[in-house]
């Protein structure tokens, strides 16, 4: 396993697909994009090289190249339809399920190109969890929702403890600890989204993708989710798509700005993007003049 | 527009215009027709059955031979010529057809539904769905011949000495007959499961199998159960296929003992057909036994429907 293994979550991984084991051996220490003077040395977890996506003949992403650093929050912002969700789905190959979608270029999870023929998308998605825009708990009990990833992966371990840990980490434990048998659908929208986050972290993935995880929630639930994301970044690499500029500024370490046409216009430290962006277009977008 | 005009315009009673009244009464009559038919059938069944039983026949002003209700419901022999009217062998055969066809149709029907809803490409769907519809449209008497001409000989290669008419091939053929019903209703239920749940599953690294069996099927369970009950009600009431394939020997069999399926037997519906097509005279006790069987069958189906409603309700509440 890699260095972000949380000892509390140590579970037997013997059932893992062998192809994915070499998918992550060795770490690629690269310099993350230099920003306003400070150079940070962090492992790159996800690295895109000239990734382009077409839906039939329409190009949704143009030659995206960026490195996502480990245990940080990387935000993707940009106007509607600029390809943020499309890029997120490239990372865990959820685009495979859209018949019209075609991906070109290379996308590495650490050292392994996830678009290599020998990569099993199922194994990839066990390392790259996802939280969706609309909360989508299974019509099962709260416990079974959180334990789902462990069950399908046949992981050994103390499920009760992992479920509890995950719910605690998702700041939901106090509210549901005495009703774990209740259906996940009976929770409020904000609780459901935290349940989905608990479900995503329970099998201990390396990367968590979040596509506008708070956009369906009220301000209180939103700020809970934001606090949670900040905490998650201590253990996990988080990539989050958001429409909310203040949210990106508040919680992310790095920000990627996509603009219409599927271009990545700027990618840098969040502070730099919001205080002193290189590109006029980004400045216009951030100050609300465009987009 | 003057106030009067406005008042008149707003107070026209389109609801009671002659045209409206006419169409409304027409639709009402159509709806009532089915209720009237149902009630007449129940009345017919009950009054004719009442003439059959010794206890109630005098009330109906019927003279001549009758049968005891106790003998009817507990008797294990159905021999018309001896005036032995024990309905249990017939009930046992009907239950055997139900159990046997369920064993065939429920797993295959659900598997077909899973394939259609989760695995099949649009092209495969465009071939399979019409094929299922054709299967559902074949006249049931044809299924009966199919059992006698193909299924029984095929089974004989495994079970030498199997009689021409046997419950095994009758059950199998009724099972095949109701697969389309299980498959299409279950498939509708599975297709109605929101895609966001599948996305959630795949996003967790679930395989197609995990998603189909672990997420979609449980979420569609109430619809799947409805398909079971509807299909089994159809199996219970199925007539022509079993009349042709099951034989006419009213053996008392155990629906839960596979060996008993090697015999022929006489399901309730087939017994009724035999009575109608045989030389029983109108007005005789054998003729009236027809209605006693009919009433019993009616109650069995009614109970099934009530149970299915309760089950469906429970699952709807849970999910
Ligand atoms: N399944 C699909 N089939 C065809 N085209 C698609 C599909 N999904 C997205 N697109 C197209 O790709 C482009 C990028 O879409 P995407 O959903 O990635 O944008 P987005 O940045 O996430 O937008 P939003 O902020 O509104 O969620 C859009 O032009 C969209 O029409
Ligand atoms: Mg989007």
pLDDT in tens, B51-100: 999 888 888 888 778 889 999 999 999 998 888 899 999 999 999 999 99
Higher pLDDT, A249 or B284: A249
SS3 A236: coil
Q: Which atom of ligand 1 is nearest to the CA of A88?
A: 18
Q: Measured between CB atoms, which of B196, B202, B219 is closest to A125?
A: B202
Write down the pLDDT at residue A25.
36
Write down the pLDDT at residue A40.
53
Do B144 and B241 touch, CB atoms closer than 8 A? yes
Contacts of B220 (CB under 8 A, 6+ apart): B186, B189, B190, B192, B193
Q: Is the pLDDT of residue A4 over 60?
A: no
Cβ distance of B215 and A138 shorter than 8 Å: yes
Residues B226-232 have a mean pLDDT of 90
Tokens of B105: 């149709």
Cβ distance of A130 and B210 shorter than 8 Å: no
Write down the pLDDT at residue B281.
65
**For B185-212, how does the pLDDT look when each residue is reduced to its tens digit (9 = 90+)?**
999 999 999 999 999 999 999 999 999 9
Q: Could you give all domains of chain A from N- to C-terminal order, each with its CATH number? A: 29-286 (3.40.50.300)
A41 band by pLDDT with thresholds 50, 70 and 90: low
Write down the pLDDT at residue A28.
40
φ and ψ of A241, to 5 deg: -95, 135
Ramachandran area for residue B207 (φ above 0: left; ψ -120 to 50: alpha; else beta): beta
Residues A10-38 have a mean pLDDT of 40
Write down the pLDDT at residue A24.
40
Residues A163-187 have a mean pLDDT of 94
Cβ distance of B194 and A136 shorter than 8 Å: yes
Among A73, A213, A77, A207, which Cα is nearest to A136's?
Answer: A213
Q: Measured between CB atoms, which of B203, B215, B218 is closest to A94?
A: B203
Write down the pLDDT at residue A12.
40
Q: Is the pLDDT of residue A37 over 90?
A: no
Do B84 and B286 touch, CB atoms closer than 8 A? no
Write down the pLDDT at residue A138.
96
Write down the pLDDT at residue A10.
39
Q: Measured between CB atoms, which of A126, A136, A137 is closest to B205?
A: A126
Do A76 and A241 touch, CB atoms closer than 8 A? yes
**ipTM given for this complex:** 0.83
- How are beta strands A73-77 and A254-259 bridged, if at all? parallel
Name the packing angle between helices A159-169 and A189-201 (round to 10°).
Answer: 130
Dist CA B254 CA B106 (whole Å) = 20
Tell me the pLDDT of chain A averaged across its residues. Answer: 86
As beta bridge partners, residue A271 has none
For residue A260, how many C-alpha atoms fall within 13 Å in the half-sphere facing its CB? 6
Q: Give A122's contacts in chain B (Cβ within 8 Å).
A: 205-207
% of chain A with per-residue pLDDT over 90: 74
Integer angstrom CA distances of residue B111 from B108, B157, B190, B312: 5, 27, 12, 21
Write down the pLDDT at residue A290.
58
φ and ψ of A171, to 5 deg: 55, 40
- Based on the number of CB atoms within 10 Å of its own CB, is A134 exposed (0-12), middle (13-18) or buried (19 or more)? middle
Q: Which atom of ligand 1 is nearest to the CA of A258?
A: 21
Task: Give the 3-state secondary structure percentages of chain B, helix then strand then coil, rounded to 5.
Answer: 75, 0, 20
Residues A183-205 have a mean pLDDT of 94
**For B149-183, how does the pLDDT look when each residue is reduced to its tens digit (9 = 90+)?**
999 999 999 999 899 999 999 999 999 999 999 99
Q: Is the pLDDT of residue B265 over 50?
A: yes
Dist CA B155 CA A265 (whole Å) = 71
Q: Does the CA dihedral A27-A30-A33-A36 come out positive or negative?
A: positive
Tell me the pLDDT of chain B averaged across its residues. Answer: 90
B120 inside 8 A of chain A by CB = no
Considering only CA atoms, give the Rg of chain B: 26
Residues B207-226 have a mean pLDDT of 93
DSSP-derived letter for residue A219 is H
Write down the pLDDT at residue A291.
47
B199 inside 8 A of chain A by CB = yes
Q: Give A89's contacts in chain B (Cβ within 8 Å).
A: none
**CA closest to B218 among chain A residues:** A139
Residues B9-33 have a mean pLDDT of 85
Integer angstrom CA distances of residue B114 from A145, A248, B107: 22, 42, 10
Helix (H) or strand (E) holding B41: helix B18-52
Cβ distance of A140 and B200 shorter than 8 Å: no
B192 inside 8 A of chain A by CB = no
Which CATH class for the B78-318 domain? mainly alpha
User: Which of A9-18, A87-96, A215-224, A280-289 shows the lowest per-residue confidence on average (mean pLDDT)?
Assistant: A9-18
Integer angstrom CA distances of residue B72 from A257, B49, B78, B87, B290: 83, 11, 9, 6, 12
Write down the pLDDT at residue B179.
96
Write down the pLDDT at residue B14.
72
Task: Give the 3-state secondary structure percentages of chain A, helix then strand then coil, rounded to 5.
Answer: 35, 25, 40
Q: Is the pLDDT of residue A257 over 50?
A: yes
**Which residue is it, tokens 């599927």?**
A262
For residue B68, how many C-alpha atoms fall within 13 Å in the half-sphere facing its CB? 5
Q: Is the pLDDT of residue A282 over 50?
A: yes
Q: Is the pLDDT of residue A56 over 80?
A: yes
Residues A88-100 have a mean pLDDT of 94
Dist CA B211 CA B197 (whole Å) = 9
Q: Measured between CB atoms, which of B206, B207, B219 is closest to A139?
A: B219
Cβ distance of A152 and B210 shorter than 8 Å: yes
Dist CA B151 CA B172 (whole Å) = 8
Give the ligand with the smallest distance to the CA of A53.
1
What are the pocket residues of ligand 1 if the criterion is a CB atom closer than 6 Å to any ligand atom? A 55, 60, 78, 80-86, 98, 100, 243
Write down the pLDDT at residue B65.
82
Among B246, B124, B242, B116, which Cα is nearest to B187's?
Answer: B116
Q: Is the pLDDT of residue A286 over 50?
A: yes
Dist CA B146 CA B140 (whole Å) = 10
What is the number of other CB atoms lying within 10 angstroms of the CB of residue A140?
19
Among A43, A36, A192, A51, which Cα is nearest to A115's?
Answer: A51
Distance, CA A61 to ligand 1 centroid (Å)? 10
Q: Which atom of ligand 1 is nearest to the CA of A86?
A: 18
Higher pLDDT, B306 or B15: B306
Give which of A125, A166, A183 to mutate to test B binding, by max B Cβ within 10 Å: A125
Q: What angle do CA A66, A112, A148 make, to 5 degrees?
A: 95
For residue B207, how many C-alpha atoms fall within 13 Å in the half-sphere facing its CB? 10
Tokens of B295: 């009433």
**For B119-138, how does the pLDDT look when each residue is reduced to its tens digit (9 = 90+)?**
999 999 999 999 998 988 99
Q: Where exactly are the structural domains of chain B? A: 3-52, 78-318
Q: Which of A84, A94, A133, A265 to mutate to test the pocket of ligand 1 (most atoms within 8 A of CB)?
A: A84
Write down the pLDDT at residue B248.
86
Residues A5-10 have a mean pLDDT of 40
């Amino acid at each position: 396993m890699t260095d972000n293994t949380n000892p509390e979550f140590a579970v037997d991984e013997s059932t893992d697909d062998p192809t994915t084991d070499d998918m992550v051996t060795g770490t690629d220490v690269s310099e993350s994009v230099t920003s306003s003077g400070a150079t940070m040395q962090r492992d790159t977890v996800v690295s895109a090289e000239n990734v382009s996506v077409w839906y039939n003949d329409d190009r949704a992403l143009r030659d995206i190249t960026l490195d996502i650093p480990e245990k940080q929050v990387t935000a993707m912002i940009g106007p509607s339809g600029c390809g943020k969700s499309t890029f997120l789905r490239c990372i865990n190959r959820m685009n495979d399920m859209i018949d019209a979608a075609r991906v070109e270029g290379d996308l590495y999870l650490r050292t392994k190109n996830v678009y290599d023929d020998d990569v099993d998308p199922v194994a990839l998605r066990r390392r790259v969890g996802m939280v969706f825009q609309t909360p989508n708990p299974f019509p099962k009990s709260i416990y079974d929702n959180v334990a789902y990833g462990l069950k399908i992966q046949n992981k050994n371990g103390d499920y009760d403890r992992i479920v509890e840990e995950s719910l605690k980490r998702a700041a939901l434990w106090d509210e549901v600890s005495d009703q774990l048998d209740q259906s996940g659908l009976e929770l409020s929208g904000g609780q459901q989204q935290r349940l989905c986050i608990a479900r995503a972290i329970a099998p201990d993935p390396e990367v968590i993708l979040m596509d506008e995880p708070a956009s369906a929630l009220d301000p209180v639930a939103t700020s809970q989710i934001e606090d949670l994301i900040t905490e998650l970044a201590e253990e996990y690499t988080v990539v989050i798509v958001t429409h909310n500029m203040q949210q990106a500024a508040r919680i992310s370490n790095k920000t990627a700005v996509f603009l219409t046409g599927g271009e990545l216009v700027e990618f840098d430290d969040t502070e730099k993007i919001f205080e002193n962006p290189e590109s006029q277009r980004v400045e216009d977008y951030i100050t609300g003049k465009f987009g | 527009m003057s106030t009067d005009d406005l008042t008149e315009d707003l107070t026209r009673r389109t609801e009671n215009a002659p045209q409206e009244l006419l169409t409304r009464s027409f639709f009402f009559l159509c709806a009532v027709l089915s209720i009237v038919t149902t009630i007449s059938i129940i009345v017919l069944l009950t009054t004719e059955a009442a003439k059959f039983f010794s206890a109630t026949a005098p009330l109906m002003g019927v003279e001549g031979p009758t049968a005891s209700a106790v003998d009817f419901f507990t008797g294990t022999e159905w021999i018309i010529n001896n005036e032995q009217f024990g309905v249990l062998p017939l009930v046992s055969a009907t239950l055997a057809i139900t159990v046997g066809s369920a064993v065939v149709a429920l797993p295959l029907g659900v598997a077909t539904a899973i394939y259609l809803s989760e695995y099949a490409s649009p092209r495969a769907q465009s071939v399979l769905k019409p094929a299922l519809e054709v299967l559902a449209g074949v006249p049931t008497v044809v299924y009966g011949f199919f059992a006698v001409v193909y299924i029984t000989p095929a089974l004989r290669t495994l079970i030498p000495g199997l009689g021409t008419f046997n419950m095994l091939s009758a059950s199998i053929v009724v099972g095949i007959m109701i697969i389309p019903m299980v498959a299409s209703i279950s498939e509708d239920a599975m297709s109605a499961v929101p895609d966001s749940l599948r996305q959630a599953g795949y996003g967790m690294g679930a395989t197609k199998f995990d998603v189909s069996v672990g997420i979609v099927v449980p979420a569609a369970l109430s619809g799947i159960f409805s398909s079971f009950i509807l299909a089994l009600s159809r199996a219970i009431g199925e007539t022509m296929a079993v009349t042709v394939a099951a034989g006419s020997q009213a053996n008392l069999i155990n629906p839960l003992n596979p060996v008993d399926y090697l015999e022929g037997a006489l399901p309730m519906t087939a017994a009724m057909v035999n009575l109608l097509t045989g030389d029983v005279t109108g007005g005789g006790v054998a003729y009236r036994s027809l209605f006693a069987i009919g009433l019993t069958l009616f109650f069995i189906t009614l109970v099934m429907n009530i149970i299915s409603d309760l089950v469906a309700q429970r699952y709807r509440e849970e999910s």
